[in-house]
Amino acid sequence: MSRFLLVVLPLQGHLFPMLAIGQELVHSGHEVVWCGPEDTLRPLVGPDATVHPTGVRAYRRYAETGMAGVRALWDGYLLPFTRFILDAVDDAVVRHRPDVVVAEQYALAGGLVAHRRGVRWASLCTGLLELAPPPELVGFDDFVADRVARAVELAGLPADEPLDPRFSPHLVIALSSPGLTPPDALPPRTVLVGSALGRRPNAPRFPWHDWDDDRRHVLVTVGTIVGHMIGDFYERATAVLAPLSDDVQAVFVTSGVDAKSFPGNAIAVDLVPMLDLMPRLDAVVCHAGGAVNEALSYGVPMVLAPVRAEQVALSHRVAAAGAGIEVSILDVTVAELDAAVRAVLDEPAYRAGARRIGDEFTAAGGAPAAAAHLVALAAGG
């Protein structure tokens, strides 16, 4: 039995994959200690799990996109979050003496403390921005290198320390596959494991009594964080899907929009049980957030309307793989969005592209494969 300390970023799309990997480690008989906000973790990991609390630092919503958004992410959240949890993570490492620290890529404190304490550690990359930044993000590498240096300084390490807390020198686990990730973008000791899906004890209820088995189904979601940045995108999606209602039933994740705004025959809910819903869907319209890997796992093609840089990075790769169509969330017209939705519904090539990536995900092994790599690292591999 090995002991693992999992340091999380308490945002849903980053937290669920870590949860799935933690579940696999526990199932294999290993000891898992969680480090993060207890109010966020406890409903997911259950009453018997060990949670080393960090306290809560609120996520500040920002409206910037492109490189301005990258700067807002680092300066407004990641560096303050790192400073806020450093002592708690250090206390967790000292108290629980893990064989391996597993840090979500943006939970920088995990790698910083593990390096400082001489503990082996692994990074979990939930997205592709750090691996394959879009070419339109001019100055990305230099900017992030500067902010990484500041994070190293926050941890009291020498300025010339050869350390990037985004990428462990021991093991980098990337939730991707060869069809999505340029091979030359991978840091040393990177393994691609596809998507990491596990049990979600907090999955919301869904009004299945309103589900029409005789129609195809399209999910429209922009998640829970960027709803203030989408303009009238839901109105345009409604204008596209309402005329298709004889054949297509839409499911809208409302994201703060009044449910009365959606077509009367659509299902509009605040949240959906994504892993229960996904196998029943024919297409997804989304902002290229956490739903992408979930959709690809089930071979569901997408219309991608990314907002922030990390979503743009993933959207570019999915479109290039033929698994979806990318549109501008602010500028796409109703006619253009209608054409994109009809294409992913009716043209077999998009579903074939999504299934091809889904097959790569299956072959990569998902959460069980990630857990196996971590166990090997703990054993000295």
Worst-scoring range by mean pLDDT, 54-68, 148-162, 348-362?
54-68
Q: Does residue 137 contact residue 67 with C-beta atoms inside 8 Å?
A: yes
Residue 38: which of 76, 10, 59, 6 has the closest Cα? 10
Rg of the chain over Cα atoms, rounded to whole angstroms, equals: 21
Report residue 12's pLDDT band, with 50, 70 and 90 as the boundaries: confident
Distance CA 345, CA 347 (A): 6
Place of tokens 């403390």: 113
Model pLDDT for residues 183-241, shown as the tens digit of each residue: 887 999 999 999 999 999 989 999 999 999 999 999 999 877 677 778 889 999 999 99
**CA 65 distance to own-chain centroid:** 18
Residue 223: which of 306, 157, 282, 140 has the closest Cα? 306
Residue 296 Cα distances to 149, 163, 263, 299, 306, angstroms: 35, 33, 27, 5, 16
Report residue 259's pLDDT band, with 50, 70 and 90 as the boundaries: low
Calculate the CA dihedral of residues 124, 130, 131, 132 and round it to 10 degrees: 150
- Reply yes or no on whether the pLDDT at 61 is more than 80: no
DSSP 173-198: EES--TTTS-GGGPPTTEEE------
The pLDDT value given to residue 182: 83
Distance CA 70, CA 60 (A): 13
Distance CA 102, CA 367 (A): 13
**CA 211 distance to own-chain centroid:** 27
Model pLDDT for residues 17-38, shown as the tens digit of each residue: 999 999 999 999 999 999 999 9
Report residue 381's pLDDT band, with 50, 70 and 90 as the boundaries: low
Q: Which residues contact 240 (CB under 8 A, 6 or more apart)?
A: 334, 337, 338, 341
Q: Does residue 147 contact residue 127 with C-beta atoms inside 8 Å?
A: no
Q: Does residue 50 contact residue 33 with C-beta atoms inside 8 Å?
A: yes
**Would you give the end-to-end CA distance of the chain in angstroms?**
15
Distance CA 125, CA 191 (A): 10
Burial of 67 (0-12, 13-18, 19+ CB in 10 A): middle
**What type of residue is 54?**
T
Q: What is the mean pLDDT of the chain?
A: 94
Model pLDDT for residues 176-195, shown as the tens digit of each residue: 999 999 888 799 999 999 99
Distance CA 241, CA 274 (A): 20
Residue 305 Cα distances to 10, 104, 157, 292, 326, angstroms: 24, 25, 40, 11, 6
Report residue 59's pLDDT band, with 50, 70 and 90 as the boundaries: low
